[in-house]
Structure 1
Amino acid sequence: MILPAFSQSRRPVLKENVPLDSIRLSDPCILADAETATYYMTGTGGWLWKSKDLRQWTGPYRVAETDPESWMGPRPMIWAAELHQYHDRYYYFATFTNRDVKIDTVRGNEIERRASHVLVSDTPDGPYLPMEDPTYLPPEMPTLDGTFWVDEDGLPYMVYCYEWLQNWNGTIEKIQLKPDLSGTIGTGQVLFRASDSPWSRERDDAGNIIPNKVTDGPWLFHTQTSKLGMLWTSWVFSDYVQGVAYSESGTLDGPWVQEPEPITPPNYGHGMLFRTFDGKLLMSVHSHKEINGRYVRIPHLFEMDDSGDKLVLGKPY
């Protein structure tokens, strides 16, 4: 295995022909870029991997360039990066954390300055650079895992998580983006809360079973019947698991109805969907396992079926 998930300051040697299961990477997100006939994989850590066949990968490349004078500081941590092509440019949606700045203390936990933000490039392999707005979301809120969606109104949105560490019941929210994605418009709107899920559970200090507090990794999709769905991740006690919700209105405003059971096996989560160049729908997730006191996260691909109103998990790819 190479690249521990949080060794974000290292400059590793470029490697070629690396099998997918030999890469340690949280929150893998894959852009299938038709113009270059290349798959680009990002995730936590700020690195980029490239592949022509999804089997062998070259990387890692550093592609995100932030402003050291910004709120992020000179060496921000980068989490859950995603690449999205919109019109004629490429956008890097990611969570940036400045560990030197504390914004709150809740129940004894210091909360670091963390927020979803967007960078831009003219090419899929970067470099990705800051745009107009210095912040996209309120600085006093810890937000994470921002993703991109153009809703039925034709407007672009960021969908993101407001972290449970502060509100103690994580939410998934939307906020409108400027037409060129260089900033946000208005304020965020709650789509649903962690406690709305029938499958994500934990135990309180007295041992009672209660709803889990975590919302993680939203990803929007349409089925082939035009049903709007959202992948998102939480916990079933000690297992990290992928769930799905569907919008009854067909828009981000919902209401969002949660599936009763997770869609992945235990300890697979933070999923996203993409189509291969030959049209196969795949879900990218990472496995989540503790080894010798450290979490190990490895990218995996599953075949998916979206031909009906609901997404169906297929075999490993």
Structure 2
Amino acid sequence: MKNSWLAVLGCALPLLAAAQKPAVPVIRKNIPLDSIGLSDPFILADAKTHQYYMTGTGGMLWKSPDLKTWEGPYQVARPDPTSWMGPKPMIWAAEIHPFKGKYYYFATFTNRNIKIDTVQGSALERRASHVLVSNQPTGPYVPMGDATYLPANKSTLDGTFWIDKDGKPYLVYCHEWVQNQDGTVEKIELKPDLSGTLGTGQVLFKASAAPWSRENPRTGPARPNKVTDGPYLFRTKTGRLGMLWTSWVYDVYTQGVAYSRSGTLDGPWLQEAAPITPPNYGHGMLFRTFEGKLLMSLHSHKDIKGHYRRIPHLFEVDVSGDKLVLGQPYRP
């Protein structure tokens, strides 16, 4: 369990720092991608503005015309301070998705002052995936109809967006392992305008299903890791539905991929035997450049004397066959 707790602590440390940033960040210009410290980088290539917008953990936004140099960070999320999130929520793993003429901000919000559960003697803070909306990619992103997308007593994170073969929109998210002891990836239907959810969540798979995720317990032999992190959906050219997601191999942050046998979110989901990315890379997503090249955005994960350092990276990707094939690092 030690390595799993390292995963949680590693996620928490940069978020604590992000929460303590000044209300008005200092805007920097002409910053190379590898000079930006950012977890869970998500890049939107916006055709309307012909700009790339990058967000992630911390709730800030960077923009670039060419992926070479970036300007930011801009503060774009404006959740309701009177809601369960409180006046200064932590913001994790933000994503921006265009849908029906608007832009939707899928993110995890944490209110450290509200405790929702106690598991093995540890109190769990209120943390949940939620969706904000804006008329433009640069925000501001504000609340919609429903104050709560997922149950208040359920610790969820890393929500992403997917429209399945039934034409319905879905929120795909993780139920955190610190609460259920074997992290899951789940889905729940969204309202047609994404302003809330419908029905209840459905488990797609558990962390322990992946043959590549491993941890060393205090006693006994190595066993499957229990962390689920960063789901992201994609289709190959053959129409196969795949999902990127991240866990750990002992103390190494690692990303794998699963494929749906049915071609829908309902699965069943078949886990690839080996990770898809190099060691200490994870929480990836896919986007196409304005020139049509498919890229993966993800972050490297390095422990430097007890302090985690995360840097965004880009890799070339090929999905022209039946599986995702990771290529070389991309240098814009």
Short-chain TM bin: over 0.9
Shift in CA distance, 67/240, structure 1 to aligned 2, threshold 3 Å = same
Higher alpha-carbon deviation: 215-224 or 9-18? 9-18
Which residue of 24, 37, 46 maps to 2:59? Answer: 46
What residue in structure 1 maps to residue 71 of structure 2?
58
Tell me the C-alpha RMSD between the 2 structures: 0.8
Corresponding residue number in structure 2 for 1:304: 317
Contact 1:8–1:46 (CA<8 Å) still a contact in 2? Answer: no
Q: What are the within-5 Å matches in structure 2 for residues 233-272 of structure 1?
A: 233-272=246-285
Matched, 1:9 2:10: no
Structure 1 residue 131: Cα displacement = 0.3
1:140 to 147, 153, 159: 153
Alpha-carbon offset, residue 7 of structure 1? 2.2
Question: Match of 1:165, SS?
Answer: helix
Q: Which amino acid aligns with 2:20?
A: S
Aligned counterpart, 2:34: 21
Matched, 1:194 2:207: yes
- Distance, in Å, in 1 between the alignment partners of 2:300 and 2:105 is 23
- SS of structure 1 residue aligned to 2:139: coil
Partner of 1:157: 170
* Partners of 1:205 and 1:290 in 2: CA distance: 22
Once residues 193 and 10 of structure 1 are traced to their aligned partners in structure 2, the CA distance between those partners, rounded to angstroms, is 35
Q: Deviations 1:162-215 (Å, cap 9, x if unpaired)?
A: 000010000000000000000000000000000110100001111411110000
User: Matched residues, percent identical?
Assistant: 71
Q: What letter is aligned with 1:194?
A: A
Q: List gaps (5 residues or longer) in structure 1.
A: none
Aligned residue in 1 for 2:109: 96
CA distance in 1, matches of 2:20, 2:192: 33
**Offset at residue 107 of structure 1 (A):** 1.1
- TM-score under structure 1 length normalisation: 0.98
Q: Deviations over 1:237-264 (max 9, x none)?
A: 0000110000000000000000000000
Q: Does 1:167 align with 2:177?
A: no
Deviations 1:71-95 (A, max 9, x none): 0001000000000001110000000
1:66 Cα deviation from its structure 2 partner: 0.8
Higher strand share: 1
Q: Which protein has the bigger helix share? A: 2
* 1:218 to 2:216 alignment: no
Deviation at 1:108, TM superposition (A): 2.1
1:198-234: CA deviations, max 9, x gaps? 1000011114111100000000001111110000000
- Runs of at least 4 residues off by over 4 Å: none
Whole-angstrom CA distance in 2 between matches of 1:134 and 1:208? 44
The residue number in structure 2 matching 1:274 is: 287
